[in-house]
Amino acid sequence: MNNEGWKVARALADRGIAAFVLKYRLIPTPGSLEDFKAGMSRNFAPANASGNKPPSWDLTNQLEDAEAAYALIVKRADEWHVDTQRLGMIGFSVGAGLTMHCTLHSKTMKLAFIGPIYGGMGAVEVPKDAPPLFAAIASDDFLFREEFGLIKSWYEAHRPVEFHLYQNGGHGFGLGYPDRTSNGWFGTFVLWLEVNKFLVAKTAK
């Protein structure tokens, strides 16, 4: 909540961007350490030679929480000075997965842009009206696995996509660790928002 939530939100707010931190329900953790280790091994194991993939998570509860937060922001947009035409979503690790899940499956969220940061990189079926995507991950992240499917999916769907593969940074770097090339992602992300006019205020009539 701090490293990939409040700190990022404050950094965005410092640049004049209204930011909200989503606190969503988690998948229950197994009771024993052995079961926890076994579950993590299954969930994060790379696909084997026969093409088997790790089991997918049921994100029904998490999607409901995201949709409720989105609806609240839209409802109070005037009070909070939010332009509902420029509502985007970024997430880190599992949060990146939820960002993608909302993009691909929500029927109520109309996201203007998305930023999955060090999330899964597997190919997806891209909606025709998919939002512009900014993705970043480090080459030494265990989730990378030399996959570019997500980026290729967006590119082949002719939707705007920007991708940064950093030399190092590992997993969970948040706003950055000392002496890692991944430290540059946040400034690049803000520039991407600016170039794509997501930071331009709506002109009053």
200 lies in a domain?
no
pLDDT at residue 48, rounded to an integer:
41
176-200 pLDDT, tens per residue?
888 999 999 999 999 999 999 999 8
Is residue 44 very low, low, confident or very high in pLDDT (cuts 50, 70, 90)? Answer: low
Whether the pLDDT of residue 93 is over 50: the answer is yes
129-178 pLDDT, tens per residue?
999 999 999 999 988 989 999 999 999 999 999 999 999 999 999 998 88
Please state the rounded mean pLDDT for residues 93-106.
97
Give the mean pLDDT of the chain. Answer: 91
pLDDT at residue 203, rounded to an integer:
61
CB 153 within 8 A of CB 128: no
Query: How many CB atoms are closer than 10 A to CB 120?
Result: 20
205 lies in a domain?
no
- Which domain does 109 fall in, by range? 2-44+51-195
202 lies in a domain?
no
pLDDT at residue 46, rounded to an integer:
57
Tell me, what CATH number does 60's domain have? 3.40.50.1820
Number of domains in the chain: 1
Nearest to 121 by CA among 109, 102, 138: 138
Which residues have CB under 8 Å from 23's CB, separation 6+?
1, 5, 65
pTM over 0.75: yes
User: Percent of the chain having pLDDT more than 70?
Assistant: 90
**In degrees to the nearest 10, what's the CA dihedral of 169, 156, 101, 3?**
20
